[in-house]
Structure 1
Amino acid sequence: MGEARTPGQRAGLTRESVLQAAHKLLIERGLDGLSMRGLATRLGVAPNAIYSHVANKTALVDELLDEVLAAVVVPDPDTTEANAGLVRIMTSSYTVLLDHPDLVPLYLARQGARGPHAQRLGDVMFALLAQAGVTGPAAHEARRVLIVYTIGFAALSTSAGPEPSEDRPLGSAELSGNFASGLQWLLTGILGA
């Protein structure tokens, strides 16, 4: 006798379909408009089918944030020089965040993401920092500073238009340039290079 199928499986839902529908709902209605009941209605299923894939709204948002991080390009810390590897991972993170401006405020509010993709990125960052001799509490602080810098710059950049205006003195191209040069300054301080 096989395993009993969950209500979500019986409804034909997958984790990916739930996250995709949740992201669309979030874009349309914002965080306050994202509810488990609203998501179930969007998917044409009973709410208990959603709970087969995610525990609650907080877990749903955490999974959405973490899923986006799967697109971050991760260098191999065994074959990549620390500075170049950290530039690559943080620049890729910044680009991924810019591709999802609707989620950037949630990354700010939650101070990042916590799922398996975030963990993988953190592990690679720790390996690159260790390669440069930055370990222990200093590595944790360095990782936090790099993450906060990247999310903060993404928040600033997603609120900017392509060109400077009276309301926004910096355009997105200038902010991207500022991100790159500031990242190098941070890494020079962190790595002592």
Structure 2
Amino acid sequence: MARPALSREEVLDTAAALVRAHGPDGLTMRGLAAALGTAVTSIYWHVGNRESLLDALAERTVTDLGAIRPHGEDPAERIASVAHALRRALRERPHLVAMVHERGLTERMFLPAHRALVREAHAAGLRGERAAELVRAVAFQVVGYVLVERNRERAPVQSPADQELWDAETADADPPLARALAAPVEADRLFAASVRALVTGLLAGATAPAAGDIGDKPDTGDGSVGRGPYSQ
């Protein structure tokens, strides 16, 4: 049976899967052709050479992260939802995100999430420097947390381990604390707690704007915010 006609999207999907599994260095045109069951010349026809292919993968990663949309009943919930969605997106595609960074597209990749955070900061009543502080603090929290997670996952076995470190004096003074610190880190729970505390602190004292203000403008889906300073 003849193979169905190859499409550009199929090439990019397969290439992205190879990068996720083996990193950019594991993506070769011959390996990609083998995975697709086609000739290398066919891949060149659809996406050009390897550098063009990597550029296309980087651009698609930028687009994928632009699909993040907030959800929740109030600005605090929606800000937290952006943080959780951004963390998932970064963890799902670390090699692709690294490619984006190497091509100088990091700020553009994060821009849609930043704009979503701006809308929610405005909806909560924050303006100017306080709104900017919220956007950057949440973004730094997410990126920093993901980097720590990845470093912990790739770290060699530690000796002494946490269980050995948190006994003796700490166990005598506060046994539940010693047991908790000796237990494995619950990364999802810890991230949720840290984001909740961060957002609560940043929104403290904020006053929601009156109906019709910029914060109440509907999400147009293109990153624009009415006629405010973040419009394009």
Which TM bucket (shorter chain)?
0.5 to 0.7
Provide the secondary structure at the position in 2 that maps to 1:75: coil
| TM-score, length of structure 1 as denominator length | 0.64
- Select 2:189's aligned residue among 151, 154, 177: 177
Aligned to 2:71: 75
- Select 1:12's aligned residue among 6, 14, 23: 6
Provide the secondary structure at the position in 2 that maps to 1:24: helix
| Structure 1 portions without partners, runs of 5+ | 1-10
Quick one: which amino acid aligns to residue 74 of structure 1? P
Cα distance, 1:146–1:111 mapped onto 2, change above 3 Å: farther
- Select 2:80's aligned residue among 83, 87, 90: 87
Query: Does the aligned pair in 1 maintain the 2:57–2:96 contact within 8 Å?
Result: no
- Select 1:64's aligned residue among 61, 80, 83: 61
Q: Deviations over 1:56-76 (max 9, x none)?
A: 523422423542664x45317
Cα deviation, residue 181, structure 1: 1.9
Provide the secondary structure at the position in 1 that maps to 2:108: coil
Q: Deviations over 1:138-168 (max 9, x none)?
A: 434422321221122123224445xxx6367
RMSD (CA atoms):
3.7
Quick one: which amino acid aligns to residue 49 of structure 1? H
What is the correspondence of 1:128-167 to structure 2 with a 5 Å cutoff?
128-160=120-152, 166=158
| Structure 2 portions without partners, runs of 5+ | 163-180, 206-232
Aligned to 2:24: 31
Provide the secondary structure at the position in 1 that maps to 2:125: coil
Aligned to 1:7: none
Query: Does the aligned pair in 2 maintain the 1:74–1:124 contact within 8 Å?
Result: yes
Cα distance, 1:100–1:83 mapped onto 2, change above 3 Å: same
Cα deviation, residue 86, structure 1: 0.7
Cα distance, 1:107–1:191 mapped onto 2, change above 3 Å: farther
Q: Deviations over 1:94-135 (max 9, x none)?
A: 2343444555655776685635xx554333221111012223
Cα distance, 1:112–1:176 mapped onto 2, change above 3 Å: farther
Count the aligned residue pairs.
171
Query: Does the aligned pair in 2 maintain the 1:65–1:107 contact within 8 Å?
Result: yes
2: CA distance between counterparts of 1:94 and 1:150?
Answer: 6
Quick one: which amino acid aligns to residue 12 of structure 1? L
- Select 1:192's aligned residue among 172, 188, 204: 204
| TM-score, length of structure 2 as denominator length | 0.56
